[in-house]
Amino acid sequence: PKRTKIKDLLNATEFGQQVTVMGWVKTFRNNQFIAINDGSGINNIQAVVDFNNTDESLLKRITTGAAVSVTGELVESLGKGQRVEIKVQDLEILGDSDPEKFPLQPKKHSLEFLREIAHLRFRTNTFNAVFKVRHALAFAVHKFFNDQGFVYMHTPVITGSDAEGAGEMFRVSTIDFDNIPRNDDGTVNYKEDFFGKPTNLTVSGQLEGELAAMAFGDIYTFGPTFRAENSNTTRHLAEFWMIEPEMAFYDLDDNMDLAEKLLKYVIKYALDNCSDEIEFLSSRLVEEEKQKPQNERSELNLIDKLKFCLENDFERLTYTEAIDILKSSKPNQKKQFKYLIDDWGADLQSEHERYLVEKHFKKPVILTNYPAEIKAFYMRQNEPDEHGRKTVRAMDILFPGIGEIVGGSQREERLEKLEQRMHEMHVPAEELSWYLDTRRFGSAPHAGFGLGFERLVLFVTGMTNIRDVIPFPRTPKNAEF
Ligand code: 4AD
Ligand code: MG
């Protein structure tokens, strides 16, 4: 169809030409002014109807939500808040929308309400902005890696191993629950299942990514991952997207440098390319902050917060250093933490991460060299320290308001060390023989990390619930759309 995107018309400087726009009616005022949005941007175009010369029956069908095609002259607008408008010559209703039934009214709806109608929330300004930013961030991720010669590797969604231990897995099976095939001893006969063995949805593409990195040098994955953790928080999804680069010949410092560079690049890309959307989200946030008591309001606005992140080096310190800071911190000494830090070795809770990022350093933080006990089997082992404590070359990046946004490590490339650790952690080596082959044939130092895409989108959009930055959220007891 010959139509012009509204976003392009709003910037037009030539008046008098005839244009056609197609979009959805946001509001219709005084039987005269239609605000139309076609999704190309947040801003609507105003189309002015000559109601004296238009059928009453047609006017009645111009309702919020209806799809319309409007042709007319592009003229300078005399109204406030817009430069241009369309003087309607021809108006066609492409799809009616019953105003009694359409759930979106021309007013501000709560995010909770919009979550209930996730299939329609794309039509709101907020979600238009959020998903435009999401798109831009995804594009920027690919651009960043492509420009540096990384290969985008597609790793499987269905996996035959369940050994990474990153989280609870979703079983993939064609077995009929009402008629489960059994062996003589009563156990499930998986030979009858589609793949002839138990399979799961992937929790991470890392292990397969390592295989590819040992051939291509630099690769990344960007795909959906699944975790059946029953954690109903504003930071967890059962289905989320993860970016996992894996680089041969990288050590932990190289790994941190790349992660910091990636984060800064994509944030800057969004600022440069989604300024309208981010400005809109920023003002949305200001309104939201006004609802809160004075002492809970955040000091920085969204744009300043993003710029601050670009302009400052992330703070890098070891887990051990972080524990020392936390131990002697006010909330720990006054017993205000729910989980008090009294010893080396405990995993950090989100309250501790938030303290380090938001109160102590007041900027993004990279924590390294965690206790081996609390990290995955594939992380490279350090020599025990002077107290005999064992650590691994892990790194977690913590962001203000988000907590952990990146988790990664240098990998254990020494076969014997890796096998020994797998044994200690009861990771079945036979099942992962294909993985261990990388260490058998031309093993090399390498490192990688996983960036949670929705947590990144949360940070850049200033949204506060992860369900609001993925189009169709999957959370416990919720897979409706
Ligand atoms: O720290 P995680 O579990 O690390 C891994 O999966 C490694 N295999 C990554 C690697 O080294 N290649 O997850 C990585 C990131 C987290 O930092 C977080 O941002 C995000 O993935 N994440 C989630 N995001 C949303 N919902 C969940 N349930 C998430 N679990 C992890
Ligand atoms: Mg992690």
Same domain (yes/no): 244, 351: yes
3-class SS of residue 110: coil
Which amino acid is located at 101 in the chain? K
Same domain (yes/no): 91, 130: no
Same domain (yes/no): 300, 390: yes
Same domain (yes/no): 218, 80: no
> Is 193 a member of any domain?
no
Same domain (yes/no): 256, 400: yes
> Is 112 a member of any domain?
no
Nearest residue (by CA) to ligand 1, atom 22, is: 452
- What span, in angstroms and rounded, lies between the C-alpha atoms of 136 and 138? 5
Query: Strands (DSSP E) along 251-402, which ranges?
Result: 315-318, 365-371, 391-399
* Start-to-end C-alpha separation, the chain: 30
Q: What total of structural domains would you count in the chain?
A: 2
Q: Is the CB of 41 under 6 A from ligand 1?
A: no
- What span, in angstroms and rounded, lies between the C-alpha atoms of 263 and 314? 11
| Edge-to-edge order in the sheet of strand 446-452 | 151-152, 218-226, 239-248, 446-452, 403-410, 391-399, 365-371, 315-318
User: What's the domain range around 61?
Assistant: 6-104
Backbone angles phi, psi at 450, to 5 degrees: -120, 125
For residue 450, how far is its CA from the centre of ligand 2 (angstroms)? 8
pTM: 0.96
Q: Is the CB of 452 under 6 A from ligand 1?
A: yes
Q: What is the CATH number of the domain that holds 100?
A: 2.40.50.140
Which amino acid is located at 59 in the chain? L
- What span, in angstroms and rounded, lies between the C-alpha atoms of 406 and 328? 26
> Is 99 a member of any domain?
yes
Same domain (yes/no): 306, 336: yes
| Edge-to-edge order in the sheet of strand 171-172 | 158-159, 199-201, 171-172
Pair type for strands 218-226 and 239-248:
antiparallel
- CB atoms inside a 10 Å sphere around CB 91: 21
Q: Is the CB of 211 under 6 A from ligand 1?
A: no
From 104, 138, 157, give the residue that closes a domain: 104
Same domain (yes/no): 221, 362: yes
From 72, 104, 136, give the residue that closes a domain: 104
Same domain (yes/no): 41, 145: no
- What is the model's pLDDT at position 318? 98
- CB atoms inside a 10 Å sphere around CB 261: 12
3-class SS of residue 23: strand
- What span, in angstroms and rounded, lies between the C-alpha atoms of 192 and 182? 9
Q: Is the CB of 245 under 6 A from ligand 1?
A: no
Distance, C-alpha 72 to centroid of its chain: 41
Write the DSSP symbol of residue 471: S
What's the alpha-carbon Rg for the chain, to the nearest Å? 27
Which ligand 1 atom is nearest residue 166's CA? 3
> Is 372 a member of any domain?
yes
Same domain (yes/no): 419, 303: yes
**Nearest residue to 125 (alpha-carbon basis) of 283, 288, 303, 8:** 283
Q: Considering every ligand atom, which ligand is closest to the CA of 393? A: 1
Tokens of 55: 């059928």
> Is 117 a member of any domain?
no
- What is the model's pLDDT at position 167? 67
Tokens of 425: 């952690």
- What is the model's pLDDT at position 147? 98
> Is 182 a member of any domain?
no
> Is 97 a member of any domain?
yes
Which amino acid is located at 134 in the chain? R
- What is the model's pLDDT at position 121? 95
Same domain (yes/no): 152, 255: yes
Beta-ladder partners of 448: 246, 409
For residue 276, how far is its CA from the centre of ligand 1 (angstroms)? 30
> Is 359 a member of any domain?
yes
Same domain (yes/no): 22, 133: no
- What span, in angstroms and rounded, lies between the C-alpha atoms of 324 and 340? 12
Q: What is the pLDDT along the chain (481 residues), one digit of tens a residue?
A: 689 999 999 988 899 999 999 999 999 999 999 999 999 999 999 999 999 999 999 999 999 999 999 999 999 998 788 899 999 999 999 999 999 999 998 888 999 999 999 889 999 999 999 999 999 999 999 999 999 999 999 999 999 877 666 668 999 999 999 999 999 999 999 999 999 999 999 999 999 999 999 999 999 999 999 999 888 899 999 999 999 999 999 999 999 999 999 999 999 999 999 999 999 999 999 888 888 888 777 777 999 999 999 999 999 999 999 999 999 999 999 999 999 999 899 999 999 999 999 999 999 999 999 999 999 999 999 999 999 999 999 999 999 999 999 999 999 999 999 999 999 999 999 989 999 999 999 999 999 999 999 999 999 999 999 999 999 999 999 888 7
Which ligand 1 atom is nearest residue 229's CA? 28
For residue 406, how far is its CA from the centre of ligand 2 (angstroms)? 7
Long-range (24+ apart) CB contacts under 8 A made by 472-479 are 472/118, 473/115, 473/118, 473/237, 473/239, 474/237, 474/238, 474/239, 475/232, 475/236, 475/237, 475/238, 476/230, 476/232, 476/238
Which ligand 1 atom is nearest residue 238's CA? 28
Q: What is the CATH number of the domain that holds 309?
A: 3.30.930.10
Nearest residue (by CA) to ligand 1, atom 7, is: 450
For residue 248, how far is its CA from the centre of ligand 1 (angstroms)? 21
- What is the model's pLDDT at position 296? 78
Same domain (yes/no): 37, 153: no
Which amino acid is located at 395 in the chain? M
From 50, 72, 104, give the residue that closes a domain: 104
